[in-house]
Chains A and B, each alone.
Chain A
Amino acid sequence: MVVSLSTLRILLVDSDEGARRVVSSAIKQAGASVVLMAQSIEQAEQLFNEEVPDIVVASWDLPPSSGLELTRTLRKAKSPYPAVPIVLMMSETSTAQVAEARDVGVTDYLFRPFSTKNISVRLTHMINNQRPFIVCETYRGPDRRQMKAENYQGPLRREGDGWMVDV
């Protein structure tokens, strides 16, 4: 059963009005019927708590703070939906920034500029291939291991790996 974007509520967070207009239009064209919009972290938090959206699409740049800070806030235990899928839109394409985004619990990222097709493919893929949500001392977010390495030799730590607690 494929989940369609038309059944989901998406929160778009971007401080730039032009960007909000273009990206929200692209998300709607991608099939989403409800796109909530916020221009700051405060507004996003308020909308998030009131409306509890199914997906958050946020810009890396959210002056005076950032999309990373928003992710940290939404992932907190007291958040109404800590496991919400979060997509971060980034202007920079460095490995360091992607790794930083992944390590604060971002689900997926999109480099700017992107097309309607790119956002449609990413959101559809993300929502239909949800990963286990990991909570530990140093990390809260979706399972960061996505690559299926056939010759993986490292330790098996997740329940899905067949790892069992020895009681």
Chain B
Amino acid sequence: MAMYAGTDAGFRSPEVSMELMQNAHEHYTKHYEVVTRKLKHAQTATMSSLHQVKQATTQMENQRIASQEFDNLKVYEGLWDITLKAFNGNYIPESALERIENILSSLPRTIMKFYDILLGQDSVLQKLIADLSEDKYRQALNVIRKLQGGTCPVTGLSPEELECRDEAQLAQRTHESAIKIILKKKDYSSRR
């Protein structure tokens, strides 16, 4: 009996399928929650940082440097605001979650010092990170990717073509947005 490209087996028991789906989905849900919490902490850290710079500005002789710092922080403030709005109940591709985490790992020092403290204080976040089972997730994802990797015989579209449409539609839905910026891989860390 003919099988479609991308499928290495004609049938998986419902129990095995269910377990793989559950592992993949639980990981995605936890990762989504981790990134959401990190974004909220980054937002709070940026506000604290802005407050600090504002206070220091009045004492500094070099107002121009302080003003530049302030402008940079304002860019981050806007970025968190728009990104969190895009997260509100919407699906965010795993690739975008990873890109956001990359941005969060290279924040300007002024934000990072507040951000690190907030992460350390968040026990829920620490538990979520500890619970992320990368091995089970990778295992599930490998099977799923193999199965879903073929060209759709009905539409003739490859998974990449469908995914491109998905990302383009997501970008259109959040048209002004940070996700669009993130999908274009714009590196905000270079503004430090």
Contacts and interface: CB of A to CB of B under 8 A. Distances in A.
Interface of A: 2, 4-6, 16, 18-19, 22-23, 25-26, 29-31, 33, 61, 91-96, 98, 102, 108-109, 111-118, 120-122, 124-125, 128, 146-148
A31 to B, nearest CB: 5
Contacts, number: 131
B102 interface: no
Interface residues of B, dominant DSSP: helix
B141 A115 contact: yes
Contacts of A25: 25, 29
B104 interface: no
A95 B11 contact: no
B89 A6 contact: yes
Interface of B: 1-4, 7, 9-14, 16-18, 20-22, 24-25, 28-29, 32, 89-91, 93-94, 140-141, 143-144, 147-148, 153-157, 159, 162-163, 165-166, 169, 172-173
Nearest to B19: A113
A22 B28 CA distance: 12
17 contacts: A22-B18, A29-B29, A29-B32, A93-B10, A94-B10, A95-B4, A113-B20, A113-B21, A113-B147, A115-B24, A115-B25, A117-B163, A117-B166, A118-B144, A121-B166, A146-B156, A147-B154
B180 to A, nearest CB: 13
A146 B21 CA distance: 28
A113 B156 contact: no
Given A6-B90, A94-B3, A116-B25, A108 B154 contact: yes
B162 A125 contact: yes
A121 B11 contact: no
**Best-buried of B7, B140, B173 by chain A (most CB within 10 Å):** B173
B3 A95 contact: yes
